[in-house]
């Protein structure tokens, strides 16, 4: 929907705004896109950057008030962006009650009054880049801290290699994959592996079930006294009869010999073969 008004020194936007009801309902409004800043903030958060900011929020009332103002501003902006025709999608996705909380939520979807947890420094920096440093004290302080650590917040020497699609990617190109993206990719691999294993198991179960199917409805005339479940089957090579194991201690023998005792073809056609229930110790093993 829009990009940061002040591009980096290479001419690329460092943050962008997106529709909260675009391809999915999302409480975020601004996203940090500069790979150099994302990398620097990932490192800062790994070193306890969020905990440091939260400690300041606990002790500095002015910082909490600024955080509250940020949350209220995001709520107002979200209400302007979510038009009545989009509201139906929001309510359908998260319910009417959830839609109300969604509209009023602050930066990154936090409850407006909860101002003691910064949640995500990337979001605060993106907000400062989109609305101006004076609009977000946490974002401004984070940028100043990065600059004090020697990070060029207006762009590094080679970071444009990732942003410029005209630059051919090589093994030596400057690239950074955000930690959150790595986690998402890893989770996606795990989900795909689990799904594949689940599908394979279902196919095996289906094959086993198909191999053990036996007609036990009322038309057979068998005194089964309720529903039985075929778990496995075996065929006696001498008599030609199929023994189906079922729940309990009773085996269902499907005689395919027409009572002759001669090896049969294993057919299961009702009306031309006989079925009887009997205690069969071999079948129950």
Averaged pLDDT, groups of 10, the chain, 285 residues long:
92 94 88 96 96 97 97 94 90 91 93 94 97 97 98 96 92 86 53 70 70 47 44 45 45 47 45 43 46
pLDDT value, residue 183 = 52
Q: Where are the domains of the chain?
A: 2-176, 212-285
Q: Which two tokens stand for residue 265?
A: 């073809």
Q: Is 221 left (phi over 0), alpha (psi -120 to 50) or beta?
A: left
Q: Supply the pLDDT for residue 14.
A: 97
Residue length, the chain? 285
* Of 59, 70, 206, the residue nearest 140 (C-alpha): 70
In this prediction the pTM is: 0.63
Which of the 8 DSSP states describes residue 270? B
pLDDT of residue 180: 63
Please state the φ and ψ torsions of residue 62, each to the nearest 5 degrees: -60, -40
pLDDT at 8: 97
Question: What are residue 278's DSSP bridge partners?
Answer: 251
User: What is the sign, positive or negative, of the torsion defined by CA atoms of 89, 95, 100, 106?
Assistant: negative
């Amino acid at each position: 929907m829009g990009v940061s008004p002040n591009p980096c020194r290479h001419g690329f936007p460092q943050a962008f705004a997106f529709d909260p009801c675009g391809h999915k309902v999302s409480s975020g409004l601004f996203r940090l896109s500069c790979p150099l800043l994302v990398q620097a903030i990932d490192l800062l958060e790994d070193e306890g950057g969020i905990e440091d900011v939260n400690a300041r929020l606990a002790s500095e009332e002015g910082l909490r008030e600024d955080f509250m103002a940020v949350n209220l501003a995001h709520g107002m902006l979200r209400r302007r962006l979510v038009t009545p025709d989009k509201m139906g999608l929001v309510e359908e996705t998260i319910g009417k009650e959830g839609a109300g909380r969604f509209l009023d939520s602050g930066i990154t979807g936090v409850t407006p009054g909860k101002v003691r947890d910064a949640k995500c420094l990337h979001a605060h920096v993106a907000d400062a880049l989109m609305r101006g440093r004076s609009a977000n004290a946490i974002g401004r302080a984070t940028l100043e801290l990065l600059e004090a650590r020697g990070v060029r917040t207006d762009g590094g020497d080679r970071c444009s290699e990732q942003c410029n699609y005209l630059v051919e990617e090589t093994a030596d190109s400057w690239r950074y994959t955000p930690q959150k993206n790595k986690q998402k990719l890893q989770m996606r691999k795990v989900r795909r592996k689990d799904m594949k294993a689940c599908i394979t198991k279902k196919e095996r179960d289906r094959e086993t079930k198909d191999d053990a199917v036996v007609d036990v409805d009322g038309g057979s005339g068998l005194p089964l006294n309720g529903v039985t479940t075929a778990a496995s089957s075996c065929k006696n090579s001498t008599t030609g009869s199929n023994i189906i194991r079922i729940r309990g201690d009773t085996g269902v023998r499907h005689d395919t010999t027409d009572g002759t005792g001669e090896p049969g073809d294993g057919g299961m056609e009702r009306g031309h073969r006989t079925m009887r229930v009997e205690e069969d110790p071999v079948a129950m093993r």
